Amino acid sequence: MLPSPRQRTITRRERRLRQELHNVVVYIIVFIFFLPVLWIIMTSMRPEVEVNARPPVFLPRKIDFQSFVYLFSPGYAEKSIPFYDYLWNSLFASLVSTACALTIGTLAGYSFARFRFQGANTVFVGMMLARSIPGIAVSLPLFILFARLNLLDRRTGLALAYAAMNVPFTTWLMQGFFKDIPKELDEAAQIDGCSRWQSFARIDLPLALPGLAASGIFAFLTSWNEFQISSVLTRTPASKTFPVGLYDFTQQFTVDWRGMCAMSVVMLVPAIVFVLLTQKQLVRGLTFGAFK
């Protein structure tokens, strides 16, 4: 028996009400997770007397950008730090390591997805297990190795360490994307006269661009926010990144919370811009293969 028009109307209302309820719950959860970021932003712009006030002042009574002036004016007063050095070091290490990880991970993922060779599963599982090792556990071996290679306190050494850290994850992600691309496309291209490299560059790689964007975002954010390895391999402003540079606001008896929050806000900007520029590809990459 078909439902009556009134029953269909009630069903649509219940479905709409359920969807709105889900949306409200999602908004509440997102707001809860956004609260720490909101507090950091407000602390960076509140007067210094309100930072450690008791009871806490949630909304600043006056907007003060003096902490950002200290950041962007090297040598200004005694609170300034080598902000531009940290910015350049973070950008260099993150972008170079991301480019290296994407290049190596894409080629490795394509090899694991398209070729069958002896020990392939062993190598692949070994790479995944290597990625599961905590960064703090390899800090001492990395320190000894980099000291002998004269790579300590160098941006290039930090970029190499980050690239090695991101290659396993990038390989795993790209291998899944290439597996979802039918092999028949490669075979058809080769029948038409394309070589293996040409079919990879003209067929597989363009189809895997969403996965490449997703891998690039994860690799960049991992390098941009990394602290453990950077704190061991860097010593001076010549190679220190933003996460390590935040400790410059910690003095013997006091902590410059406003300055620390101001640098944290600046740290958020490149990551947000990078995600916004590749947002469309990221969504496609995360949903690639979900529907056939």
- Can you tell me which residue has the tokens 């602290």? 227
- In order, the DSSP letters of the chain are -PPPHHHHHHHHHHHHHHHHHHHHHHHHHHHHHHHHHHHHHHHHHS-HHHHT-SS--SS-SS---HHHHHHHSTTSTTT---HHHHHHHHHHHHHHHHHHHHHHHHHHHHHHHH---TTHHHHHHHHHHHHTS-GGGGHHHHHHHHHHTT-TT-HHHHHHHHHHHHHHHHHHHHHHHHHTS-HHHHHHHHHTT--HHHHIIIIIHHHTHHHHHHHHHHHHHHHHH--HHHHHH--STTT--HHHHGGGGB-SS-B-HHHHHHHHHHHHHHHHHHHHHTHHHHHHHHHTTS--
Q: How many CB atoms lie within 10 A of CB 42?
A: 16
Q: How many CA atoms, within 13 angstroms, populate the side-chain half-sphere of residue 102?
A: 21
**What pLDDT is stored for residue 281 in this prediction?**
60
Taking only the tens place, the pLDDT of each residue in 212-227 is 888 888 899 889 989 8
- Averaged pLDDT score across all residues of the chain: 82
pLDDT at 78 over 50: no
> Which tens digit of pLDDT belongs to each residue from 254-282?
677 888 888 888 888 887 887 777 666 66
- Give the pLDDT confidence score for residue 43 in this predicted structure: 86
**What average pLDDT does range 97-102 have in this prediction?**
94
The predicted pLDDT at position 74 comes to 65
pLDDT on residue 75 = 61
* pLDDT for residue 5: 63
Instruction: Give yes or no for residue 98 having a pLDDT over 90.
Output: yes
CA 280 to CA 242: how far, in whole Å?
Answer: 28
Q: Does residue 211 carry a pLDDT above 90?
A: no
Q: Where are the domains of the chain?
A: 5-64, 83-287
CA 189 to chain CA centroid, Å, is 35
For the stretch 149-184, pLDDT in tens is 998 989 999 999 999 889 988 998 888 888 888 888
Q: What is the mean pLDDT of residues 145-151?
A: 90
pLDDT at 285: 52
Give the pLDDT of residue 282: 60
How do residues 6-59 score in pLDDT, each as one tens digit? Answer: 566 667 777 788 888 888 998 999 889 888 888 888 888 888 777 777 777 777
Of the ranges 130-134, 141-145, 279-283, the best mean pLDDT one: 141-145
Q: 154, 92 in Cβ contact below 8 A?
A: no
pLDDT tier, 290 (very low <50, low <70, confident <90, very high otherwise): very low
Using an 8 Å Cβ cutoff, are 256 and 249 in contact? yes
- Residue 11 burial class via C-beta count within 10 angstroms: exposed 0-12, middle 13-18, buried 19 and up: exposed
**What band does 251 get if pLDDT is binned at 50, 70 and 90?**
low
- Whether residue 209 has pLDDT greater than 90: no
Q: What is the Cα Rg of the chain in Å?
A: 25
Superfamily of domain 83-287: MetI-like (1.10.3720.10)
Q: Kindly indicate the confidence band of residue 292, based on its pLDDT and cuts at 50, 70 and 90.
A: very low
